[in-house]
Chain A
Amino acid sequence: MKHKTLLSAAVICAIGGLALADSHAEGEFAKQIKARQAQMTIYSYNLGILGGMAKGEAEYDSEAAALAANNLAVATTIWMPSTWPQGSDNAATKGTRALPAIWEKFEDVGAKSQNLATAVAKLQESAGTDLDSLKAAIGPVGEACGACHKPYRAEK
C-alpha cells in the first residue's frame, strides 16, 4: 500500500510538472496559483481515465481503473494551504478563477474538499471491482467537484 502511494505521488508530481508548464498566471502569487491549478489538473487527468471507461470510450481495465482512483484519492489528500494565500483571488490578481468568497468562507471550502475526499474514497473502493460499480461511484465525485466550483470558481 505504502509503495503504491509513493508511486502515485511520483506520478502526480510528474503530471503536476506538466500542468505547471502551461498555465498562464503571473504576478506575486503566480507559483501558488499554478500549483493549485495543477492539483485540479491531476483530478481531471485521473477522472479522464476512469470516465473514459465509464462512458464506454475505453475498454474497462480493472488495474488501470484502480490505479487512477488511487491517484485521485492521493491527490485529494494533498493539503497545501500555502497555495491559497490571501490576495490571490480573481479580483486581486490575474490568471486565476478563484473567487474572493473562498477567503470569506474558508471553513466551507474545507468541508467541500472533505466531501470530495469522501466521494473519492468510495470510488477508490469500487473502481477496480467492476465497471458498474465504477459507473455508480463516479457520479457523486462529479457532484462534489461541481459543489465547490459553483460558489468558488468564476465562470470562464
Chain B
Amino acid sequence: MRRLARVAVAVGLIALAVGWFLTRPQAADLTGLDAMSGDVARGAWVFDAAGCASCHSAPEAEGDALRVLSGGRGFPSPFGTFYAPNISPSPDHGIGGWTVADLANAMLVGISPDGAHYYPAFPYISYSNARLQDIADLHAFMMTLPVSEQPNRSHDVGFPFSIRRGLGLWKLLNAGKGWVIEQPATDQIERGRYLVEALGHCAECHTPRDALGGLDRDRWMRGGPVPVGKGSFPPLVPSQLKWSAEDIAYYLETGFTPDFDSAGGAMVEVIQNTSRLPPEDRAAIAAYLKTLPDGSADE
C-alpha cells in the first residue's frame, strides 16, 4: 500500500511537471485591438446580450441595481461554490484599473491581468467567440457604470480545485473549440449563432456537461439536469421544443410561453436581458435555435 502510494506520488510529480508546462496561461490574440475605440452605446447592447449583470450584480438586485456590478452572487457547482467578483469601475475593488486588453484576455481565454486562470463559472468558454470590437465597446460602457466598493468574497472550493493552475488542464480539454454550428445557412442564423453561442452563453445551462464539467458539444442544447440541486434545464432543439420561431422570440421578449404561463427559475434573469435587445436579435436567436440538429440521426 505504502509503495503504491510512493509510485503514485512519483507519477503525480511527473504529471505535475508536464502539467506545469501544458497548463501555463497563454494570452489571447489581440491583433487590431489597439486601433479600436469603444462605443458606449454599442457596449450597452453587448452588456445586455452577454448577460454580465445576471451574475455580477448584487444578490437579488432588481431594476437599476442590476447595473451596480458589486458581485457577491454564489454559484454552486459539483466542485464548490464560486462567488462572482466586483467588476464595477472601482480601482480598488473592481476593474477600474483594467485596460481593454485585460478585459479581452479575461473574456476570450479566461486569464487575469496577473496571468492566473479563471474558473469556468465565468463563462469565457462561450465568450471566447466574442468579437474584439464588441469587447472594446463593452469596456467603454462598463467604465460608465456606478462604482461599488464591495470587497470580493473568496470562493468556497476544496483541494484540488482550489489550485488555479490545474485549470490549465481543463482548458486544454474544453477551451478554444470555436463554433458548434460551423456553417450557418443565412446571415440571420449567423447573427443568432453569435448571440446564442458566444454572447448569450445559452449553452452554459441548456447543454449537458461531462464528468469534468465541460460542455458536451455532441449533445448541444439538448437540456439536462441542473448540476447541483433539483430541476432541469429544458432542451431547445426543435424536435423537443416545438414552439414556433415567433413563440420563442416572444418568450425572450416577455417571458410568456405559448400557453401564457410565465418563465421561472434562472431563465427569468436571462429574459431580463433578452427583453432589452432589439426585436431582430430575438428573431435571430429563434432562427438559430430552429436549425439546431436534434441528434435523431446519431441516436
Contacts and interface: CB of A to CB of B under 8 A. Distances in A.
B232 A139 contact: no
Interface in A54-97: 54-57
B39 interface: no
A154 B272 contact: no
A44 B272 CA distance: 20
A143 B256 CA distance: 9
Nearest to B251: A142
A48 B272 CA distance: 21
Nearest to B234: A156
Interface of A: 43-45, 47-48, 51, 54-57, 138-139, 141-143, 145-147, 149-150, 153-155
Interface string B253-285: 111100111111110110110010000000000
A147 B268 CA distance: 7
Q: How many of chain B's residues touch chain A, expressed as a range?
A: 20 to 34
B119 interface: no
20 contacts: A44-B261, A47-B256, A54-B250, A56-B246, A138-B254, A139-B275, A142-B253, A142-B254, A142-B255, A143-B255, A143-B272, A143-B275, A146-B262, A146-B264, A146-B271, A149-B264, A149-B268, A150-B265, A154-B231, A155-B231
Chain A residues touching B, majority SS = helix
A127 to B, nearest CB: 14
B8 to A, nearest CB: 42
B230 interface: yes
A145 B255 contact: yes
Nearest to A49: B260
Contacts of B272: 143
B264 A150 contact: yes
A48 B259 contact: yes
B92 interface: no
A43 B264 CA distance: 15
A138 B269 CA distance: 17
Contacts of A143: 254-255, 271-272, 275
B142 to A, nearest CB: 24
Nearest to B231: A155
B254 A51 contact: yes
Nearest to B253: A139
B62 interface: yes
A113 to B, nearest CB: 14
Contacts of A150: 264-266, 268-269
Interface in B221-266: 230-232, 246-247, 250, 253-256, 259-266
Nearest to B261: A44
Interface in B188-213: none
B246 A55 contact: yes
Contacts of B259: 44, 48
Interchain residue pairs A-B with the least CB separation, the first 6: A145-B262, A142-B254, A149-B264, A155-B231, A142-B255, A150-B268
Contacts of B250: 51, 54-55
B246 A51 contact: no
A104 to B, nearest CB: 14
Question: B232, B262, B264, B275: which has the most chain A beta carbons within 10 Å?
Answer: B262
Contacts of B266: 150
Contacts of B230: 154-155
A155 B246 contact: no
A44 to B, nearest CB: 4
Contacts of A141: 254
A149 B263 CA distance: 7
Contacts of A48: 259-260
Contacts of B260: 43-45, 47-48, 51
Contacts of B261: 44
Nearest to A52: B260
B253 A155 contact: no
A51 B256 contact: yes
Nearest to A56: B246
B255 A155 contact: no
Contacts of A55: 246-247, 250
Contacts of A147: 62, 268
